[in-house]
Structure 1
Amino acid sequence: MKTKKVSLKDIAQKAGVSIALVSYVMNGKEKESRVGEEIAKKIKEIAKELNYQPNHLAKSLRSGKTHTIGLIIADISNPFFANIARVVEDEAKRNGYTVIIGSCDENADKSWDLLNVLINRQVDGFIIVSSENSENQVYYLKERNIPFVLLDRHFPDIQTDFVATNNYKASYDAGVHLVKRGYQRIGLVAYKSDMFHMAERIRGYKQALKDSQIRFEVGWLKEVRFENIEKEVREAIDEITSPDQKVDALIFATYGLAINGLKYLNELRLKVPYDLGIVSFGQAEVFDLYYCPITYLRQPLELLGKTAVQYLIGKLKNPDEGMKQILMEAKLIARESSMAKSEWISEARVAGL
């Protein structure tokens, strides 16, 4: 036997109020219609009791809006992006929106496919963590006047709304931190990429060395390809720890690079920080579980996600709203992996290492 779908009329009859009043409350407009808090609470409780399910299709047809947001992220396997997706989802839900999530695996073609699928699903707007070579997708959205906000990554030559980390400053801070801890030959493992955020991390690293009167050596910088990360990280570490260009500290430009690098350092039986000081971008529980807790750059993940949602919803409500662009600061969390050389040398002597 088919159960009868609960309607606004059913709620109104049980609450002893008009259907219009119930409609205002269920659409979150009780403040606009000056509905008292008690009656609004009563209506919501009755709706929950009757298991009322709103007809989103009918609502979408009336308003021309689906109250859905398309979120395209670079790599769902990366804890940073997985966690930021959760923040976006929670903040969107708080504002009455549903999020459809897709991961492009750092692939522009896959990102394009996801974009078209979500446009066909009639999402109201997008939050996008861009992949390399996806500038044409940004231009496409601009030309079609589809609202979007770029998250974590942006293209400096394209005027768009974006919410991102100040990658130059974060990388600069990592370099200066290591220098102050006594490290003098500092390497960087980064992705071989034309993406602006990666270029900024490399620029910040180089500037930190320059300002610390340390001459940068070309062999200290290793750039690897995302699609061949494991093999190329190993090759990079072999080169960067070889006697002719041996470094005493390493900065990993992403969490994924750090994980692959730390695994290989273990295989090589190189001890952190005694053989190599370490700082990494990104935050993850695994950094706490490593035998030597890893110093990392904590990006303001929650604030990034919430702000991106707020910016997008602002554009959806007011298409003429001005462009918004913001860079947020990362915080360096110092742990044992970048312990000052003077400290670990003393510890090593005591331990007889």
Structure 2
Amino acid sequence: MKKVVLKDIAQYVGVSTALVSYVLNGQAETKQVSKENAEKIRQAAIALNYQPNQVAKSLRIQKTHTIGLVVADINYRFSTGITRAIEAEAKRRNFTVIYGSSDEDPEKFAQLTNVLVNRQVDGLILVPGEDSEEQILLLQQSGTPFVLVDRYFPNIDTNYVALDNYKATYDAISYLVKTGHKKISFINLETSLFHLQERDRGYVDALKDHHLEVNPEWMRHLRPQHLKEDMELSTRLILERGNPCDAVLFATDRLSIAGLKQFNDYGIRIPKDISVLSFDEADAFDLFYCPVSHSRQPLEKMGEAAVDILVDLINKQKTHKQLYFQTDFIAGKSCRE
């Protein structure tokens, strides 16, 4: 069977080969092709079973129409959510996403980014882990288009899409204060990541601004590799009968799940014995007897913004964007009011 080429589609529709090329290469809008002609060309391509030669196309336009995505840990709900959002927006922009997970390992992060660059992806969307600054600087020097998502390094001037972690935490603590809580604990991870440190800062400032005690014992930092034992100790300390906390904010969804399990083991009733607020949501919350109040990240908007910025960079448009998004508050029944 003869291979269908652009000229065949052009003759079928009755337009020029150039017009067909513009439409099938995703340039219909920029080349001002009418919607009617663009639709006719797309339908003709389907009817004639047109199969583009991607290798030849990439060599011709010096683009592969692929985006490399590296997430920190695919097991995070954030990672799966942001991946779906990025894939959906990339597809709309005629890009394919190739992704991998660094598992919070800086060496694996460097390996994955290098592999993707060697595969000649047009650009990268990255969720970097700790100690990834060197690799980010190398990417900058190489001229590879990239955008950071969720996490960034304040000492490196890059394009990024992130959450306003300070305000989200400040607002969460303010909500607890307004609902009558005065002894509020904050359980976070022990980390050098800036976005989690910003959550610490939001917690402390909110307590100070509301003239409440900032007790160092109530601000807990758990080692990721010893999460279970550190959570057991931390929840026990904030529940001590002498000076128990009346509320706790968990800095991540995984910490929330670990904390709720520990409260169950202690026989603690939520919210009767202590109010619980989670920085993020988790599918496991649906299995808990009490709907958990939480902050929700706008993953779809963040994913769309990351792709939009990257496509501008790929198209050589001078772009310098550092976007912050706000959380939505989802009220459950885990906080006394």
Give the Cα separation in 1 of the matches to 2:319 and 2:14: 44
Q: Name the SS for the 2:147 alignment partner.
A: strand
- Is the Cα contact below 8 Å between 1:69 and 1:98 reproduced in 2? yes
1:203 maps to: 201
- Is the Cα contact below 8 Å between 1:173 and 1:332 reproduced in 2? no
Q: 1:301 aligns with which of 260, 285, 299?
A: 299
C-alpha RMSD over aligned residues: 1.7
Alpha-carbon displacement from aligned partner over 1:194-241 (angstroms, at most 9, x marks no partner) = 111111101101111111111111110111122332332223222322
The alignment's TM-score, normalised by the length of structure 2, stands at 0.94
Q: Name the SS for the 1:338 alignment partner.
A: coil
Residue identity opposite 2:86 in structure 1: V
Number of paired residues?
Answer: 337
Give the Cα separation in 2 of the matches to 1:337 and 1:134: 37
2:82 maps to: 84
- CA 1:229 to 1:49, structure 2 compared with 1: closer, same or farther past 3 Å? farther
Alpha-carbon displacement from aligned partner over 1:26-78 (angstroms, at most 9, x marks no partner) = 12333444444333212211211233222221111112211111111112111
Q: 2:322 aligns with which of 320, 325, 340?
A: 325
The alignment's TM-score, normalised by the length of structure 1, stands at 0.90
Cα offset, 1:97, TM superposition: 1.0
Give the Cα separation in 2 of the matches to 1:105 and 1:230: 19
Cα offset, 1:9, TM superposition: 3.0
Alpha-carbon displacement from aligned partner over 1:98-142 (angstroms, at most 9, x marks no partner) = 111111122212211111111111111111111011111111111
2:102 maps to: 104
The answer to whether residue 115 in structure 2 is matched with residue 117 in structure 1 is: yes
Q: 1:10 aligns with which of 5, 8, 11?
A: 8
2:124 maps to: 126
Q: Name the SS for the 1:131 alignment partner.
A: coil
- Is the Cα contact below 8 Å between 1:220 and 1:245 reproduced in 2? no
Q: 1:235 aligns with which of 233, 236, 250?
A: 233
Residue identity opposite 1:202 in structure 2: D
2:223 maps to: 225
1:190 maps to: 188
1:262 maps to: 260
Q: 1:165 aligns with which of 163, 166, 172?
A: 163
Identify which range, 73-82 or 228-237, moves more after superposition. Answer: 228-237
Residue identity opposite 2:149 in structure 1: L
Q: Name the SS for the 2:334 alignment partner.
A: helix
Identify which range, 76-85 or 36-45, moves more after superposition. Answer: 36-45
Identify which range, 61-70 or 234-243, moves more after superposition. Answer: 234-243
Give the Cα separation in 2 of the matches to 1:270 and 1:6: 69
Residue identity opposite 1:231 in structure 2: E
Give the Cα separation in 2 of the matches to 1:289 and 1:202: 28
Q: 2:136 aligns with which of 125, 135, 138?
A: 138
- Is the Cα contact below 8 Å between 1:279 and 1:295 reproduced in 2? yes
Cα offset, 1:87, TM superposition: 0.5
Give the Cα separation in 2 of the matches to 1:155 and 1:36: 44
Q: 1:271 aligns with which of 241, 266, 269?
A: 269
Give the Cα separation in 2 of the matches to 1:199 and 1:31: 43
- CA 1:156 to 1:271, structure 2 compared with 1: closer, same or farther past 3 Å? same
Sequence identity, in percent? 46
Give the Cα separation in 1 of the matches to 2:33 and 2:180: 65
Give the Cα separation in 2 of the matches to 1:221 and 1:12: 67
Give the Cα separation in 2 of the matches to 1:199 and 1:311: 26
- Is the Cα contact below 8 Å between 2:312 and 2:319 reproduced in 1? no
The answer to whether residue 281 in structure 2 is matched with residue 283 in structure 1 is: yes
Identify which range, 182-191 or 33-42, moves more after superposition. Answer: 33-42
